[in-house]
């Protein structure tokens, strides 16, 4: 399993994204598996950012910490990322005042890093591109270093900038000049180009959510922008002419959640997404959905808190918050996506579960999942059928009584029908109510209705799939996790196998109501068991230990806004095996 790691670093706004996107797209076109992500501050312009691309001949499910090749578009990029380059790696830059980077040159020499310099600024200016095209010169140089052909790069750029023909010409000149690399000694890189191309697309998790929503028949999307959920709004809005979906940027998160409840109550499918702060505002509505037994799906895209926290970084810090969110006791379902494909599938499952059990569902995502571009095949595997749990047969509709709506049933789920579809109406009441929805404050009626609603918890638990084991049944070291922990764990299983260490991993897609049978078995077979979680407390570890009384041997926790990198998990496994 050999992967190459590229990083394009510079200030936000210097065009590193377009470089990153062109490169990622090209690599995918050449048949490589690609996994890329962007690190950036919560600013529009300025501030150090980078885009990292891990690529190789086999699936890549997480990012690495160390890089092989860095393009630094500015001095900051140079300084900040030199240390991330592996011994013998390459740093491509266009920083003309060499005397200012003497110490860096010494540092690089010590670790045998090739510092490749091209006067990218003057080249770009001479060719008429100005500062904005420095990135193209360096891109050309990097492509040369990678040892790939110029032609496909020219084609990719032509495609990317087809709409700006004047600039395109200059873009191409700059790229060629970079590729020519006059006077630069190019280190020999040999990256074999794959013979075939996987049938996969390169998308991020938020696109997975958007496509999952569309596939599941969602007809209304309401949201208020908040990183890292915002691009779901962008994607769905941009698709809206094709889908006819009502996509509304609401005035706040309370509105978004309320509108979704209104639309769901009326019988269509709606969706909302937000991040922690926005979810906090939605919780009263989540509670209301619990009370009136209205389906509601809120995708919670996590970022580190508390408060505004680290808006553009990643976290798994809101699991317990999601589980325990909103006042009162009611059935609620929490899931967690781990990559774009699971975003796509779990969004569909969430809508089915919400409608089948008439309950709020919170699919969790995280910046790392929302924005990382990963190769996936969405059509692979069994299609998820839409399950609405609605009464639709004319005969059955005709026979309905108002009290059927909140009838005390064995599993707590009562009949639900689209308003206007049956002669019997019903009353969705956020006050405690009887079977027909009419308000009651009688102790016995209140107790019975609470018990009816809470019976759904067990019904849901039985319906949810249990956690799943990846890797060998027994291992030297075992991990348990959810969300983006899966990607890094799966890559670590392979990386550790190469080192002769047997690793396995237990993954939770469905987190609440918690199922623990598979965990108990896994724990029994694998005493050297460790939690892998991107938060301070080990929130799932706490839940599992609390529920089963079984303990983890160790907890590998990270809460600095960064995801787990492959090397870190491999190193942890080596130390704790």
Q: How far is the CB of 394 from another protein (least distance, A)?
A: 15
- Our finding on whether 234 is near another protein (CB under 8 A) is no
- Our finding on whether 27 is near another protein (CB under 8 A) is no
Q: Which of 13, 147, 217, 389 binds another protein (CB under 8 A)?
A: 217
- Our finding on whether 328 is near another protein (CB under 8 A) is no
Cβ proximity to another protein, 280 vs 567, nearer residue: 280
- Our finding on whether 265 is near another protein (CB under 8 A) is yes
Q: How far is the CB of 428 from another protein (least distance, A)?
A: 5
Question: Which of these segments, 10-18, 319-327, 358-366, 376-384, binds another protein (CB under 8 A)?
Answer: 376-384
Q: Which of 158, 160, 243, 409 binds another protein (CB under 8 A)?
A: 243
Q: Which of 30, 43, 79, 254 binds another protein (CB under 8 A)?
A: 254
Distance CA 176, CA 178 (A): 5
Rg (CA), the chain: 26
Helices 16-29 and 134-146 sit at what angle, rounded to 10 degrees? 30
Burial bucket for residue 240 (CB in 10 Å: 0-12, 13-18, 19+): middle
Q: For residue 446, how many C-alpha atoms fall within 13 Å in the half-sphere facing its CB?
A: 9
Question: Which of these segments, 216-224, 464-472, 479-487, 530-538, binds another protein (CB under 8 A)?
Answer: 216-224
Distance CA 448, CA 426 (A): 19
3-class DSSP state of 89:
strand
Nearest alpha-carbon partner for 298 in 262, 273, 333: 273
Q: How far from 138 is each of 15, 91, 176, 492, CA to CA, in Å?
A: 11, 11, 10, 32
User: Binding marks (x or -) toward another protein, 399..438, rule CB under 8 A?
Assistant: -------------------xxx--xxxxxxxxx-----xx
- Our finding on whether 244 is near another protein (CB under 8 A) is yes
- Our finding on whether 512 is near another protein (CB under 8 A) is no
Distance CA 327, CA 50 (A): 41
Burial 401-432 (b: 16+ CB within 10 A, else e): ebbbbbeeeeebbbbbbeeeebebebebbeeb
User: Binding marks (x or -) toward another protein, 196..215, rule CB under 8 A?
Assistant: -----xxx---x---x--xx
The size of the interface with another protein (CB under 8 A), counted in residues, is 65
User: Binding marks (x or -) toward another protein, 154..193, rule CB under 8 A?
Assistant: ----------------------------------------
Q: What is the DSSP string of 546-569?
A: HHH----SEEEE--SSPPPPHHHH
Nearest alpha-carbon partner for 377 in 261, 155, 208: 208
Q: Which of 50, 263, 347, 484 binds another protein (CB under 8 A)?
A: 263
Cβ proximity to another protein, 145 vs 245, nearer residue: 245
Element (DSSP H or E) covering residue 373: strand 373-376
Strands (E), 41-178: 48-56, 67-72, 85-93, 114-117
Distance CA 144, CA 147 (A): 5
- Our finding on whether 267 is near another protein (CB under 8 A) is yes
Q: Which of 292, 321, 359, 477 binds another protein (CB under 8 A)?
A: 292
Q: Which of 44, 307, 385, 393 binds another protein (CB under 8 A)?
A: 385
Distance CA 217, CA 94 (A): 50
Question: Which of these segments, 106-114, 187-195, 256-264, 301-309, binds another protein (CB under 8 A)?
Answer: 256-264
Distance CA 109, CA 91 (A): 12
Cβ proximity to another protein, 429 vs 548, nearer residue: 429
Cβ proximity to another protein, 180 vs 387, nearer residue: 387
Q: Which of 87, 103, 185, 242 binds another protein (CB under 8 A)?
A: 242
Contacts with another protein, residue ranges (CB under 8 A): 201-203, 207, 211, 214-217, 219-220, 222, 239-248, 250-252, 254-255, 258-270, 284-285, 288, 292, 378-379, 383, 385-386, 388, 418-420, 423-431, 437-439
């Amino acid at each position: 399993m050999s992967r190459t790691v590229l990083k394009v670093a510079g200030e936000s706004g210097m065009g590193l994204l377009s470089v990153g996107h062109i490169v990622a797209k090209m690599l995918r076109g050449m048949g490589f598996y690609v996994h890329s992500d962007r690190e950036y501050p919560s600013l529009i312009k300025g501030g150090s950012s980078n885009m990292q691309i891990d690529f190789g001949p086999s699936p890549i499910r997480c990012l690495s910490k160390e890089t092989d090749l860095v393009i630094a578009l500015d001095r900051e990029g140079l300084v900040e990322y030199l240390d991330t380059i592996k011994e013998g790696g390459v740093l491509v830059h266009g920083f003309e005042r060499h005397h200012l980077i003497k110490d860096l040159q010494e540092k690089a020499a010590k670790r045998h890093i090739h510092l490749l310099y091209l006067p990218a600024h003057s080249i770009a200016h001479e060719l008429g591109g100005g500062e904005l095209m420095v990135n193209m010169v360096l891109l050309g140089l990097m492509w040369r270093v990678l040892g790939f052909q110029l032609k496909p790069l020219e084609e990719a750029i032509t495609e990317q900038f087809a709409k700006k023909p004047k600039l395109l010409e200059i873009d191409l000149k700059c790229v060629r000049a970079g590729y020519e690399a006059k006077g630069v000694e190019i280190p020999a890189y040999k990256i074999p180009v794959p013979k075939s191309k996987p049938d996969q697309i390169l998308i991020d998790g938020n696109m997975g959510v958007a496509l999952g929503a569309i596939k599941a028949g969602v007809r209304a999307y309401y949201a208020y922008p908040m990183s890292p959920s915002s691009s779901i709004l962008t994607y769905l809005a941009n698709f809206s002419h094709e889908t006819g979906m009502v996509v509304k940027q609401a005035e706040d998160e309370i509105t978004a959640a309320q509108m979704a409840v209104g639309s769901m109550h009326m019988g269509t499918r709606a969706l909302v997404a937000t991040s922690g702060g926005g979810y906090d505002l939605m919780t009263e509505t989540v509670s209301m959905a619990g009370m009136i037994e209205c389906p509601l799906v809120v995708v919670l895209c996590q970022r580190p808190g508390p408060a505004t926290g680290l808006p553009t970084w990643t976290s798994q810090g809101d699991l317990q918050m999601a589980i325990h969110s909103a006042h009162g006791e009611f059935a609620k379902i929490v899931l967690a996506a781990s990559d774009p494909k699971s975003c796509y599938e779990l969004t569909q499952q969430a809508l089915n579960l919400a409608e089948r059990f008439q309950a709020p569902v919170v699919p969790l995502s995280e910046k790392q999942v929302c924005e990382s571009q990963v190769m996936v095949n969405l059509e692979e595997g069994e299609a998820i059928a839409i399950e609405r749990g609605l009464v639709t047969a004319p005969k059955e509709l005709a026979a309905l009584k108002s009290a059927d709506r909140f009838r005390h049933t064995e599993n707590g789920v009562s009949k639900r029908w689209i308003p206007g579809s049956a002669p019997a109406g019903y009353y969705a009441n956020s006050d405690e109510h009887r079977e027909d929805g009419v308000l009651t404050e009688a102790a016995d009626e209140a107790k019975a209705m609470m018990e009816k609603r809470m019976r759904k918890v067990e019904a849901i638990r039985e319906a949810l799939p249990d956690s799943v084991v990846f890797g060998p049944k027994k291992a030297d070291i075992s991990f348990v996790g959810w969300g983006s922990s899966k990607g890094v764990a799966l890559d670590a299983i392979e990386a550790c196998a190469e080192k002769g260490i047997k690793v396995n991993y237990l993954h939770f897609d469905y987190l609440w109501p918690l199922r623990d049978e598979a965990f108990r078995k896994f724990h029994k077979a694998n005493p050297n068991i460790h939690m892998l979680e991107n938060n301070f407390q080990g929130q799932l570890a706490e839940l599992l230990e609390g529920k089963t009384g079984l303990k983890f041997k160790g907890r590998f926790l990270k809460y600095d806004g960064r995801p787990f990198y492959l090397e870190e998990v491999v190193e942890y496994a080596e130390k704790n095996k």
